[in-house]
Amino acid sequence: MPQAVLYTDFDGVINAFGTMSRPITAHDDTAFGLDMAKTICVAEGHAYLVQWSGELVAAMAELATAGLVELAWLSTWQPFTGRLEQALGWDHVPVETVRWYDPVTLAHLRDGKFAAIQSRARHEQLQQRPLPIIWVDDEECTPQRRDLLQGMGLRVPMLMVRPDSRIGISRRQWSLIVDFLSTPERYGQVTLDEEATASSHDGHFGY
């Protein structure tokens, strides 16, 4: 049995945007080094340059391969996560893709992620051994969503992580995730961690 389920976005979480949104400042030493980059072609010939930390991606893959987490994509890249996995070297990593919106009609694109998290939380409520939930998203992990999840009266802890989209998951946040996996009982019902330098931005970068 895994110790928790980990839902991860891609853009702004693994794929860090660097200076695409605004300059990175003194917090750079908290970031994983962005040492990997690749152009990924998706439908209709659109290509996106993505960049990530090989160290971070390897650490995530190790948790999933060791069976410590149930790893799942919760990303607008939903139709193309197979291409992400190939680029990241995750061909043999056990990772699922949550089907949370219709890629043709775009139905549920605005509320589907949160609905998926709520659905999994309700599922875990019914299990003999419910799994703690980790949700990492640079846009949707907000105090408002935390309050709604707390209102569900969860039986196990949930950790929400909102990175600074310019650097993705920080070293501090990754350490927090690992600590949560080891001792979830030390956390409150729903814990929200927002990187201090994270800020809202207009539009959505990436796919």
Distance in angstroms (rounded) separating the CA atoms of residues 24 and 190: 29
pLDDT digits (tens, 9 = 90+) for 39-82: 999 977 889 999 999 999 999 999 999 999 999 999 999 999 99
Tell whether the torsion through CA atoms of 142, 143, 148 and 152 is positive or negative: positive
135, 161 contact by CB (below 8 A):
yes
pLDDT digits (tens, 9 = 90+) for 131-162: 999 999 999 999 999 999 999 999 899 999 99
Distances (CA, A) of 129 to 2, 43, 155, 206: 11, 40, 10, 37
Distance in angstroms (rounded) separating the CA atoms of residues 51 and 39: 9
Distance in angstroms (rounded) separating the CA atoms of residues 171 and 164: 12
pLDDT digits (tens, 9 = 90+) for 97-120: 999 999 999 999 999 999 999 999
- Least confident stretch, 6-10, 27-31, 137-141, 182-186: 27-31
Distance in angstroms (rounded) separating the CA atoms of residues 3 and 25: 35
Average pLDDT for the chain:
91
Annotate the chain with three-state secondary structure: CCCEEEEECCECCCECCHHHCCCCCHHHHHECCCCEEEEEECHHHCEEEEEECHHHHHHHHHHHHCCCEEEEECCCCHHHHHHHHHHHCCCCCCEEECCCCCCCCCCCCCCHHHHHHHHHHHHHHCCCCCCCEEEECCCCCCHHHHHHHHCCCCCCCEEEEECECCCECEHHHHHHHHHHHHCHHHCCCEEEEECCCCCCCCCCCCC
